[in-house]
Amino acid sequence: MNLRDLRYLVAVAHHRHFGKAAEACFVSQPTLSTQIKKLEEFLDVTLLERSPKGVMLTPVGAAVVAQAERVLHAVDDLIAVAEQHRDPLGGDLKLGIIPTVAPYLLPKILPAIRKALPKLNIKLTEGQTAVITRMLLDGNLDAVILALPVEEPHITAVHLYDESFLFAASKQHPKAERKTVSVADLEEEQVLLLEDGHCLRDQALEICKSHKAVENTNFRATSIETLRQMVAANVGVTLMPELAVGARSGPVRYIPFRGAEVPHRAIGIAWRDSAARGELLARFAEVIRG
């Protein structure tokens, strides 16, 4: 038994699929299957229930996976301690980021990070808030960039920036020529939102409910870019994060909100209180804030 085999087992447990687990581990499926079979033989137990419909953990398999995750996290922490000693601001950094931020923030910050932290190797994972938060808590990520607040205990969260929402509407929309709108203008509007699981959906839905806007339940987008296309087709309006607006050209009008009650969200970076590389993470946050 070795650490590699434990990582293979944990990958299968997470993906519930040999092929996807093999892809995540950068090995062939036969190699992964063979090693897990050897692990079962070594432990003399059946860890996985295999069927044409997929893979399930046996009761003992679930217990072994839980213990394997603890072992692997301890090993990762050991490596992080060594990396911190060799080069406090270098080595690998496993970073998670939500998809409503990733494609708009990363191109802006990566050049500055490369310049300020040239020895740092960033390994990126894009995922919804619940997914990357769980990966952070499980030790599979070192830090996450997401919308604040973070409700989980034992997490250090650092504010990076505030991002206003803009009223996004087709150029054919009756309000398209306005220079500004108020939150009261949301009343009775058919608002397009992202699908369940996106924190941006929850934020926008809360704003809509408090101002009598109506969610268009006939359509839920999987991404901001899909939302943008549906708004362009005049299916409805949406609340667009400012960073995602770009040059504000094309068939969609982006109108700022006026007044003291401008809808916005706070974006931050979070890591475990127990993280071995606190100095690096604090410096990383400082670079992003500029």
What tens digit of pLDDT does each residue of 36-77 get?
999 999 999 999 998 877 789 999 999 999 999 889 888 877
Instruction: Tell me if 153 sits within 8 A of 146, measured CB to CB.
Output: no
102-134: b (≥16 Cβ within 10 Å) or e: bebbbeebeeebeeebeebebeeeebbbebbbe
Q: Which two tokens stand for residue 63?
A: 């217990």
Which residues belong to CATH 3.40.190.290 in the chain? 89-290
Hey, which CATH number is domain 3-82, 2.60.120.260, 1.10.10.10, 3.10.450.50, 1.20.1250.20?
1.10.10.10
pLDDT band at 248 (very low <50, low <70, confident <90, very high): low
- Rg from Cα positions in the chain: 23
pLDDT of residue 247: 67
pLDDT of residue 26: 86
Whose CA is closest to 6, among 38, 45, 51?
38
Instruction: Tell me if 191 sits within 8 A of 237, measured CB to CB.
Output: yes
CATH topology of domain 89-290: D-Maltodextrin-Binding Protein; domain 2 (3.40.190)
What tens digit of pLDDT does each residue of 160-200 get?
999 999 999 999 999 999 999 999 999 989 999 999 888 89
Which residues belong to CATH 1.10.10.10 in the chain? 3-82
Please, what is the average pLDDT of the chain? 90
pLDDT mean over 130-149: 91
The winner for highest mean pLDDT among 49-53, 84-88, 155-159, 257-261 is 155-159
Dist CA 173 CA 158 (whole Å): 39
Question: Does the structure show a pLDDT above 90 at 86?
Answer: no
Question: Does the structure show a pLDDT above 70 at 84?
Answer: no
Question: Does the structure show a pLDDT above 90 at 92?
Answer: no
pLDDT mean over 132-152: 91
Residues 6 or more apart whose Cβ sits within 8 Å of residue 22: 11, 28, 29, 31, 32, 33
